[in-house]
A and B are shown apart, each in its own frame.
Chain A
């Protein structure tokens, strides 16, 4: 299959590969996967507690070029956004940006779900911490 130039660019020079400490309270981790093709994607965000803005994002994806490019792009896009803004990122925007063919749309869905899962994880951790702090005081 022919990949678009943008997919190749992200595939050859993936942005923000790596991982953040998942035990850091400011870090949210999203892990998603597609049962059919066996892709797994981990996307992490680091939230600035003062401003509520995503200060950093990292990913690691095992899968095809489109899955890697979709998650690479997703980390670029979430950086500098608030959680609410990041939640608005739609897989169709990823499809358009990377010119993904129909058979690779599920890769963009994975990336969108990974963002959402990372944000959920962060919020869950924050809520748990606040509940704990409430009990302590």
Chain B
């Protein structure tokens, strides 16, 4: 993979270090890469083995822990701090499929779509509009809309499930083809997911405040 091939020399012994965390010759810790996949020694794929990632995370956490470098050179002490920080960020991003896809898209330079109207389908818009109207009544004290809000929440959860299934199959297609148009489709689905996710969170907040109100007013 060209991804791994750039030559970098070990800061300690001068042998080629090949972007691995440790020098193969003198075993000293190298300046850590900021590329999350490379950091974990993984190919940049959208579908990854979660169990393997977790295993690598615990291994690396041990290997890179600053306590292990207390008696080493200041350079390695510094690298271990940097590496530990990158490790935690990289793990948080890579283990979450949505964050991972956002990361791959950002690396590939695929930006979020313009917030231009009509990128959303009319059926979803109409649903969101009705939902907002129901929420307005709900905030105004009309409790009778609560079942409708709960149903809406269920529908949006189901939609999020469909989106996630769609993402899953697009991830596979991208890993096989590396086609830019697949990335564009992923971008669209991620934007839609963000929208649906916002609605779910909004509903959760509103429904939660209402039940606390009811609990305290009794």
Contact = CB atoms under 8 A, between A and B. Distances in A.
B117 A33 contact: yes
Contacts of B125: 31-33, 40
B210 interface: no
A110 interface: yes
A34 interface: yes
Interface string A92-104: 0000000000000
B116 A31 contact: no
Nearest to A30: B117
Interface in A34-78: 34-38, 40, 42, 60, 62
- Chain B interface mostly: helix
Interface string B124-164: 01101100100010000000000000000000000000000
B65 interface: no
Given A31-B129, A42-B129, A36 B194 contact: yes
Interface residues of B, number: 22
B112 A114 contact: no
A106 interface: yes
A109 B195 CA distance: 19
A36 B202 CA distance: 14
17 contacts: A31-B129, A32-B117, A32-B125, A34-B115, A34-B117, A35-B191, A35-B194, A36-B112, A36-B191, A36-B194, A37-B115, A38-B195, A40-B125, A42-B129, A62-B136, A106-B115, A109-B115
Interface of A: 31-38, 40, 42, 60, 62, 106, 109-110, 113-114, 117
